[in-house]
Structure 1
Amino acid sequence: MLGVGAALTGCAGSAPPAGESSPAEVAPAADCAVRETLEAFGTGGRADLPPAPAAGTVPAGFEPVAAVECRMPEITVLPAPEPRQLLEPGELSVPGAEDPGDLQPGETLPGGAVVAPGDTAPVPPLADVAPAPAPAPTPGTSVDVVRLEGDLDPLLQQLARPDVPASPDQACMAMFQVVPVLYLLDAHDRAVRVRWPRDACGFLLGGAHESLAGLRETSRTTITLP
């Protein structure tokens, strides 16, 4: 599960915290019953849960053969709204609309599209997208432990990318983004929790979705946090 909540406002960006590019801690196994799983989905941490092993880059000599993603099935992640864009002449496809050449500025078409002044095609309305409410981190929270296998090279290449530094006057959108809690496993099921590279605003770099989508799910176990 990967996505962002709705945009709220503009804010100053900040560079990713220093020191997070160090090698990840090697743990005996992947563990989703940790505070960071809840924190990643915006539900807040639980002091009674243990911390996850330190996240970071793939350590030298560690050879991943699979991945484990920690998912919270009760949370629905909504995508950020797409930018409002003008349609070019000939791109009009609104059911019931007249010929684009007959459109008048300010005219409202079926589906809520509005003709902008000086344009001959409607502007799609910007949908109001609100972030999904996050459930309170109460005892009994379910977490899916999903094993992923396949070609890990695109994922490893994504994880090896450097952070994009923020400029002093960096302007960013205020958004909440769900960042996958992901472990890489070696042939002995030892695990490292990965740190995802970030852009200048602290969000995932482009391609993160695709690097996970290319893997196939081979097993899924649901655990209940006490």
Structure 2
Amino acid sequence: MIGAAPAAGRLRPALAAITATLMAVLVLCLGGCTAITGRVTHYTPSPAAPQGRADCLATSYWNEPLMTAPPGVAATMGSVPQGFVPVDVVECSPGQRIFRQASTEPAWASILEQHLSGDYGPLLAALAEQSERQDGGACVAMAETIPDLWLVDATGKAVHIEWPHDACGFTKPGVRQALAALTVTSSKSIDVRPSDAVEPVTPPPARILAGADCMTTAHWYEGNGLADPSAKDMGGIPEGFVPVSAVECTAFGSNVTDARGTWRTITQKRLTGDLTPLVKAFRGPSYKAVGKLVCEASLEIIPDVWLVDAAGRAIHVQWPLTACRKSQPGTKELLARLHVTETTVLKAVLQPAPQPKTLPPATPTSTTAER
């Protein structure tokens, strides 16, 4: 389920109803980490059944009319089987939903599929923790987003893992911490969108320039900004351009004051690391609406990104956007995986000096002496 309330019957008053559906995309349970009363017991779910491949559409809590999960998903989920050695980890997270203006039918639904690599030892240790259930007791109503998790071995077999949870149904923190320590090796958005709702748009190639310039930004949020609002040189990654580093420019930064006054700033970060997943994401298309869509009224801060090649030449990359002009799921996460080598705060716009407040002049009055 992406961005919607749980279906009827998904609210559970106690741990007795917590089942394999805890691997849901969105779990809303009566939980809170402190049980008021009740006896807590520990258990380990049955081993997950090996399957032919990882499938991000196979989630027991998928409640999306545009996507249908195969039946019996919950029955195949469980703990890591004895002797199972993963060579790949697949995390499936909820993506965006976009609705048509004149209908409750979604025009777009997506799941973000990410493959993770690194030292799987801490993750396996966290997944080996026992889950808890309580007999009676009460918990506070809270929501938790739980990605689906698959482990894949060298033969290609995959197991769909149930996260260990506490007595109130919330996941234990070790799994999230272990996942955060892994590296994203590939990422893709599994999208379903009717052909009459949105259509792909591919930008022309960006112009190759002498270097990155954070003062030229398409995402400057100041009406009197000095940046080029048209960003005329932006575009897709030209054929044959091989980036070796990146520059991130974020216009929403803290003000800086010097002898001349107070400045609005742009934060410039130089980044290195494996750019392959990010470049693949930037090569993806954007989308535009064919008809009218209902989009969330919210401001998203989208940093400008420049890609730099070995000769120091740079291109100003056009972000892949959804039909609601939001960044495509997963792109920001891939950017955050790079390593920051240098951070510079650029003085961009000198703010007008505050004017002293003055009271209006007093209105003269006349008085007449009593006689």
Shorter-chain TM-score above 0.5: yes
Provide structure 1 residue ranges, at least 5 long, that are not aligned to the other structure: 6-10, 76-135
Give the letter aligned to residue 50 of structure 1.
Answer: P
Give the CA deviation at 1:206.
Answer: 2.7
TM-superposed deviation, 1:180: 1.4
Whether the 8 Å contact between 2:94 and 2:147 is mirrored in structure 1 is: no
CA contact (8 A) 2:95 2:112 kept: yes
- Counterpart of 2:87 (choices 65, 68, 71) is 65
Partner of 2:161: 194
The residue aligned with 1:14 is 15
**1 or 2 for the larger relative contact order (CA 8 Å, sep ≥6)?**
1
Give the paired residue count: 151
Q: 1:29 to 1:74 in 2, by over 3 A?
A: same
Secondary structure of the structure 2 residue equivalent to 1:66: strand
* Rg larger in structure: 2
User: Matches of 2:140 and 2:150 in 1, distance apart?
Assistant: 28
Write out per-residue CA displacement over residues 77-112 of structure 1, whole angstroms, 9 at most, x where no aligned residue.
Answer: xxxxxxxxxxxxxxxxxxxxxxxxxxxxxxxxxxxx
Shift of 1:167: 4.2
Do the aligned partners of 1:69 and 1:183 also contact (CA within 8 Å) in 2? yes
Query: Counterpart of 2:123?
Result: 155
> CA separation of 1:34/1:171 partners in 2, compared to 1, >3 Å: closer, same or farther?
same
2:186 maps to: 219
* 2:1 is aligned with 1:34: no
Match of 1:154, SS state, is: helix
CA–CA separation in structure 2 for the residues paired with 1:61 and 1:152: 14
* Residue 27 of structure 1, CA deviation: 0.8
Q: Match of 1:78?
A: none
1:202 shift after superposition: 0.8
| CA–CA distance in structure 2, aligned partners of residues 48 and 162 of structure 1 | 31
Question: Any idea what SS the aligned residue of 1:161 has?
Answer: coil
Distance 1:139 1:61 in 2: 43
Q: Distance in 1 between matches of 2:56 and 2:178?
A: 21
**Percent identity of the aligned residues?**
36
Calculate the aligned-residue CA RMSD, in Å. 2.9
Q: 1:143 to 1:48 in 2, by over 3 A?
A: closer
Structure 1's consecutive aligned runs of 4 or more residues displaced over 6 angstroms after TM superposition are: none
Shift of 1:35: 4.5
Contact 1:35 1:45 in 2 (8 A): no
Question: Which aligned pairs between 1:10-159 and structure 2 lie closer than 5 A?
Answer: 12-15=13-16, 16-17=18-19, 21-36=45-60, 39=61, 44-46=63-65, 48-51=68-71, 52=73, 54-74=76-96, 138=106, 140-159=108-127
Deviation (angstroms), 1:22: 0.5
Contact kept, 8 Å, 1:144 with 1:221, in 2: the verdict is: yes
Matched residues in 1 for 2:172 and 2:14: separation?
15
- CA deviations 1:30-69 (Å, max 9, x no partner) are 0112343xx26xxx25584324471101112321122001
1:89-144 residue CA offsets vs partner (Å, 9 max, x unmatched):
xxxxxxxxxxxxxxxxxxxxxxxxxxxxxxxxxxxxxxxxxxxxxxx883641222
Instruction: Answer with 56-65 or 147-156: which moved more.
Output: 56-65
Structure 2: give runs of 5+ residues left out of the alignment: 6-11, 21-42, 98-103, 194-371
Q: Which amino acid aligns with 2:180?
A: A
TM-score, normalising length: structure 1: 0.58
Distance in structure 2 (CA, Å) of the matches to 1:35 and 1:164: 22
Tell me, what secondary structure is at the counterpart of 1:30? coil
Counterpart contact for 1:143–1:225, Cα < 8 Å: no
